[in-house]
Amino acid sequence: MSTLKIPAKDLPKFRRRMLSWFANRKRDLPWRRTKDSYRIWLSEIMLQQTRVAAVIAYYERFVEKFPDVHALASAPTDHVLVNWAGLGYYSRAKNLQSAAKEIVVRHSGEFPREYESALALPGIGRYTAAAVLSIAYQAPHAVLDGNVARVLARLFALHGDLRVPATWRKLEAAAQQLLAQKFPGDWNQAMMELGATVCTPKSPRCDECPVEKWCRARKLGIAEKLPSARKKRASVDVTMAAAVLLDPRGRSLLIRQLGGDGALFSHMWQFPALEAVGTDSRLVIAAYLEEKFRLAINGNLLALATARHTVTFRNIRLEPYLVRVARLPRIADASIVALAEVPSMSISNATRKIADAALSSVGQ
Ligand code: SF4
């Protein structure tokens, strides 16, 4: 592997160029107008796997509802999830609130300043800890995310899959070597901004790049070819059987599941569901309802329209059934709601597709 370093004699100039480019070109984003560690942390969590343009409105609404860590920690979880709905990846919202509670109890309501303490919070990985500590507290931790990794791979003409752990560790060391120690917050944002706006995945605008002079990929004419394509994880086909129980008053049963085969979405309200492996989903869901809810089905299953849903590498075929019951079972951690109201709840898209199929079947 080629050396991932800018020559020491060039480093001051390299940093100056990056920082002055960032000062002049940075986008005006709401979380850049604050030094409040709570708001910076919130923005970093929202920006994981979601585009900047999509995050802005959610961020502004969220900070209006939950202006500080105390407000978030003490809010009902459902309220938090409703205000997260649409951003997806709901475990982020759950972890955010769990971390807020820990911050209130263990850190006097302030995001911890030590890297290890930040890392110990739910939902905080190395990237997020470094981003929050550097931007909010000017702590000298370099960030490495997809944007920064792409910039570094091109600067140093690095081939191969960047996510291979040994390569990623080398990139982390390279990012740390480049870090402008006196301005770590601006530095990290400058690197990410360069990746997001100039050193883009396709057609990088090298003519506008402040550090073009040091870029090996540019010199070699291979900027667009880097980083090398990642080896894709093969997708897996999964069938999920789901049951929409319906009582004579048009009400249905939603439950929360915390992972495992039946969890379409952890922590979210969902219809009882189960992965059907190698057998008829009708038999699987009937056996599940009998075992879990003591419901004797006796063939009382009406197949609803199937739907497709994709979660990361899983291609899910949803096979829902309508089950009319005289009385809905009473169990812990379940909610009984009018079927017509389910689509307006904070639920996953998969659950919404199932609810829509049931509603069209019963003519609502
Ligand atoms: Fe990226 Fe081009 Fe700048 Fe190199 S010169 S870092 S490829 S934008």
Region 198-210: what's the mean pLDDT? 97
Q: What is the pLDDT of residues 300-356, one digit of tens each?
A: 899 999 999 887 778 899 999 999 999 999 888 789 999 999 988 878 888 999 999
pLDDT confidence bin for 264, thresholds 50/70/90: low
Q: What is d(CA 320, CA 310) in angstroms, rounded to the nearest whole number? A: 16
Determine whether the shortest distance from the Cβ of 69 to ligand 1 is under 6 A.
no
pLDDT of residue 364: 65
For atom 5 of ligand 1, which residue has the closest CA? 212
* Statement: residue 243 has pLDDT above 50: yes
Determine whether the shortest distance from the Cβ of 212 to ligand 1 is under 6 A.
yes
pLDDT of residue 213: 97
Per domain, the residue ranges of the chain are 9-225, 236-363
Backbone angles phi, psi at 237, to 5 degrees: -90, 130
Sheet holding 269-270, edge to edge: 269-270, 251-256, 334-338
For atom 7 of ligand 1, which residue has the closest CA? 223
Q: What is the pLDDT of residues 47-104, one digit of tens each?
A: 988 899 999 999 999 999 999 999 999 999 989 988 998 887 778 999 999 999 999 9
For the question of residue 114 being annotated catalytic, the response is: no
CA–centroid distance, 216 to ligand 1, in Å, is 9
pLDDT of residue 187: 98
Query: How distant, in Å, are the alpha carbons of 161, 193, 243, 339, 356 from that of 364?
Result: 50, 48, 18, 9, 9
Catalytic one of 44, 193, 212, 319: 44
Cα Rg, the chain, nearest whole Å: 25
Region 14-20: what's the mean pLDDT? 98
Determine whether the shortest distance from the Cβ of 153 to ligand 1 is under 6 A.
no
pLDDT confidence bin for 268, thresholds 50/70/90: confident
For atom 2 of ligand 1, which residue has the closest CA? 206
pTM here is 0.71
Q: Is the domain covering 236-363 a CATH 1.10.3720.10 domain?
A: no
Region 180-192: what's the mean pLDDT? 97
Fold of 9-225: Endonuclease III; domain 1 (1.10.340)
